[in-house]
Copies of this chain bind each other. A is one copy, B any other.
Amino acid sequence: MNASARSILLLLGVSLLAERSHAQSAPRDLTLAWAEVAPGVWRAPAGTPERVSLLGIAGGQPQRDGLARIGNAPFPLSRTEIRAQRVDGKLVLRFPLGESEQLYGLGLDFRALQQRGSVKELHVDHFGGTDNGRTHAPVPFYVSSAGYGVLIDAARYVTVYAGTAVRTDSKHPPVVRDRNLDKRWSAQPTSDAVEVLVPASGAMVYVFAGPTPLDAVRRYNLYSGGGVLPPKWGLGFLHRVPTLFTAQQATEEVAQFAARGYPLDVLGLEPGWQSASYPGTFVWDRTRFPDPDAFIADMKRRGVRVNLWMNPYVAPSSPLFATLAPLSGSYTVWTGIVPDFTLPSVRTAVLEHFDRELVRRGVSGYKLDEVDGYDRWLWPDHATFPSGLSGEQMRQIYGVAIQRATFDAFRARDQRTYGLVRASNAGAAPLPYVLYNDYYGHPEFITALASSGFIGVLWTPEVRSSRTSEEWLRRMQSVCFSPLAMLNAWSDGTKPWSFADVADPVREVMRLRIRLLPYLYSAFARYHFDGVPPVRAMALEPGFRVEQSATTGALSSTDNPYAVATQRDVRDQFVLGDDLLVAPMFAGDTTRTVVLPSGRWYDFYTGAFVGAGEVITVKPGRERIPVFVRDGAIVPLLAGDWLHVPAPGEPADLELRHYGAEPGVFRLYDDDGTTFAYERGEFSWTPLVVSRAADGTLRGETPTPPSGKPFGYRTLTWRMMTAR
């Protein structure tokens, strides 16, 4: 460089010197004082947590009995390696991460279960096809394959760097490689930390011990209040009719279900039940529903509950408007005001109205729509609310606040509910709502099912329409093995029999859904009392091992310019209850692979052995969704055919299926099925036992229901599914 060029460069340096000291205060270390708040659950405030918290809004009380049953465990991480700092006016957290750990959770995910290597900006929103943290339940909780969980309880757009950021002062720095020539070069050098950016003054941080990943999830669910126990009818079949259906049209459709022999437990009415919608009046439309009481009573006689669609944005013409206007946010949504559901006065006003107009009339629950997104429809992040919450905070908690409020209103009547919601967050396990959305990818819906079990939420892969009868059948099969079996015909007017050539197998799987009630209900009881998610990913199965080593990516200037490796991620199968492995089929496929956990597995329908701890290929035919059963498992089904789940007091017989070569025990749960008496001890667990006789044969023992406790089943008949 010649002297003049150099002096010019130096001059340039000087001329920009004014920019030099933007220096905010340097990062400041914050102390984390961990307190064990339940067995294997620790909490520490980091910085100054805001007054609103996700768990606080969800409002659950820790299920201390269940937590005690899991028992104590040591703090699962090195406390000194967990760091909190104040940086750029925000809270930054760092958690250690071992080289071989895998991470799961961080929101309801539709594309991937493994989160290591991703950055998620957790933000309540409609899932729009991109896995960026904007999702219906962006729960800031992750669980590690090393057997612990971490929750950042902040009602903010939290960004999680899940093993991506590499500090210059890392104690485990990745190897430096030359991309020019070193084949081992990777676009993603190994990071030794999970880092979390909370754009707030602080947050409450929780750590959940294992020892297994499932244990960590269980502790998280139990600390949230234990999982929801739906009313029995909630586990039947739900059908939503087109938006402007009248009472008469709805009645005719319900009659068709009965006439054609398709089960139905809940009828969903869409916006047309209201006198106006978007924004809503929360008042029955008397042209379409002249006599709501008579309509609901007639439905009840037919064994069918009524569920009502709503979103929470209130029309000026609603009787609620005058009361709520001063208690609402500073922006409208679809010209409706946005009530601040964190205010007791809002909850009281809304729930009194709901109680009078809806619950008293017999309405069983709600579909709470559009509490998730999109940005361009909801309030902006800088909206203000009378409670003092910002738009950002309200966005993160709105769905949960409404779930909680409506749940409490039903509970006040000692009546369970089970409905739908489009937004949730941390602490939602006890809330009687199932997530759904507008997206409609069948494979993504199954990944969401598997994903839901990491974060204490439920998901339904609802069926709306299909291009082909094959797709219709495959979707109906999937939804019948989910937390909420639903056909949502709000726009398409579809019916289970819409595709004539698959009308029979659709009816068959819908009936199977009803027959599964004793098994499913016990699975949900496990969710409630033990924190075990009824639907969960394979990564939560103790005996499940998949080679996690990444496969090398092929370089492509258009598709993969950084030759990013793909990780093995088993996201198209899931576990339902204790012992069923469900492997849905997607339209166009005639075969699929299934990754079996360790131990021997059997075909659900035939009892035949299918494999043990291996990857199998199945060709199930069109009629059946592949379902597999663990060795020694007992699956209680309703005997006979049912068009509704049994009503309270309705006699029902059970078929107790045993699979495999091993003895086993199933704990059959029962209670009244509709009230909260189970919270007052009114429930029963009945052991169903298959033992090995002296001659080596397996024999089902005669079950002994506990006396003086609810038990709704009449005869119980063993059926040994696996031939000797």
> A interface vs B, CB < 8 Å?
1, 4-6, 8-10, 12-14, 16-17, 19-24, 26-27, 50-52, 56-57, 59, 87-90, 92, 117-119, 128-130, 159, 161, 164-169, 173-181, 185, 187-189, 195, 197, 199, 243-244, 271-272, 274, 276-279, 285, 315-317, 325, 328-332, 334-335, 337, 342-345, 347-348, 351-352, 355-356, 360, 374-377, 379-384, 387-393, 405, 408-409, 412-413, 438, 440, 464-465, 488, 490-492, 555-558, 561-562
Measured CA separation A21–B351 after assembly (Å): 21
7 contacts between A and B (CB under 8 A): A22-B52, A88-B390, A88-B391, A197-B380, A438-B561, A491-B557, A492-B557
A392 to chain B, nearest CB (A): 7
A180 to B271, Cβ gap below 8 A? yes
Q: Which residues of B contact A379 (CB under 8 A)?
A: 165
A87 to B345, Cβ gap below 8 A? no
Measured CA separation A488–B561 after assembly (Å): 13
Q: Which residues of B contact A23 (CB under 8 A)?
A: 387-388
Q: Which of B87, B119, B161, B315 lies in contact with A176, CB distance below 8 A? A: B315
Contacts A23-B387, A24-B388, A195-B380 supplied; 13 other A-B pairs, CB < 8 Å: A12-B344, A12-B347, A14-B344, A20-B388, A21-B51, A88-B392, A165-B379, A168-B325, A169-B330, A180-B272, A189-B332, A189-B335, A491-B555
B377 to A167, Cβ gap below 8 A? no
3 residue pairs, one from A and one from B, having the closest CB atoms:
A23-B388, A13-B344, A491-B557
A465 to B179, Cβ gap below 8 A? no
B188 to A558, Cβ gap below 8 A? no
Copies of the polypeptide in the assembly: 2
A19 to B168, Cβ gap below 8 A? no
Measured CA separation A245–B375 after assembly (Å): 47
A356 to B491, Cβ gap below 8 A? no
B165 to A380, Cβ gap below 8 A? yes
Measured CA separation A173–B164 after assembly (Å): 46
**Which residue on B lies nearest to A411, using beta carbons?**
B8
A16 to B168, Cβ gap below 8 A? no
Measured CA separation A187–B438 after assembly (Å): 15
Q: Which residues of B contact A488 (CB under 8 A)?
A: 557
Known pairs A1-B352, A129-B130; A387 contacts B188 (CB<8 A): no
| Most interface-central of A14, A185, A195, A331 (chain B CB within 10 A) | A331
A352 to B20, Cβ gap below 8 A? no
Please report whether the interface of chain A is mostly helix, strand, loop or mixed according to DSSP.
loop
Measured CA separation A199–B159 after assembly (Å): 15
**Which residue on B lies nearest to A174, using beta carbons?**
B335
A460 to chain B, nearest CB (A): 15
Known pairs A166-B335, A328-B168, A382-B195; A355 contacts B387 (CB<8 A): no
A347 to B176, Cβ gap below 8 A? no
Q: Which residues of B contact A24 (CB under 8 A)?
A: 388, 390
Q: Which of B119, B185, B343 lies in contact with A375, CB distance below 8 A? A: B119
B21 to A388, Cβ gap below 8 A? yes
| Most interface-central of A119, A272, A412, A438 (chain B CB within 10 A) | A412
Measured CA separation A323–B148 after assembly (Å): 42
A187 to B16, Cβ gap below 8 A? no
Q: Which of B276, B285, B408, B557 lies in contact with A464, CB distance below 8 A? A: B557
B21 to A408, Cβ gap below 8 A? no
B22 to A50, Cβ gap below 8 A? yes
Known pairs A22-B51, A176-B316, A179-B278; A412 contacts B558 (CB<8 A): no
Q: Which of B188, B330, B556 lies in contact with A167, CB distance below 8 A? A: B330
Q: Which of B10, B87, B168, B382 lies in contact with A390, CB distance below 8 A? A: B87
| Most interface-central of A20, A277, A347, A387 (chain B CB within 10 A) | A20
Measured CA separation A51–B567 after assembly (Å): 43
Measured CA separation A169–B561 after assembly (Å): 50
Q: Which residues of B contact A376 (CB under 8 A)?
A: 117-119, 161, 164, 188
B19 to A387, Cβ gap below 8 A? yes
**Which residue on B lies nearest to A1, using beta carbons?**
B355
Measured CA separation A159–B21 after assembly (Å): 26
| Most interface-central of A161, A285, A330, A376 (chain B CB within 10 A) | A376
Q: Which of B10, B89, B347 lies in contact with A13, CB distance below 8 A? A: B347
Known pairs A355-B5, A382-B197; A180 contacts B557 (CB<8 A): no
A9 to B185, Cβ gap below 8 A? no
A244 to B390, Cβ gap below 8 A? no
Q: Which residues of B contact A335 (CB under 8 A)?
A: 166, 173-177, 189
Measured CA separation A59–B15 after assembly (Å): 10
Q: Which residues of B contact A412 (CB under 8 A)?
A: 4-5, 8-9, 12
A351 to B9, Cβ gap below 8 A? yes
Measured CA separation A616–B169 after assembly (Å): 62
**Which residue on B lies nearest to A383, using beta carbons?**
B165
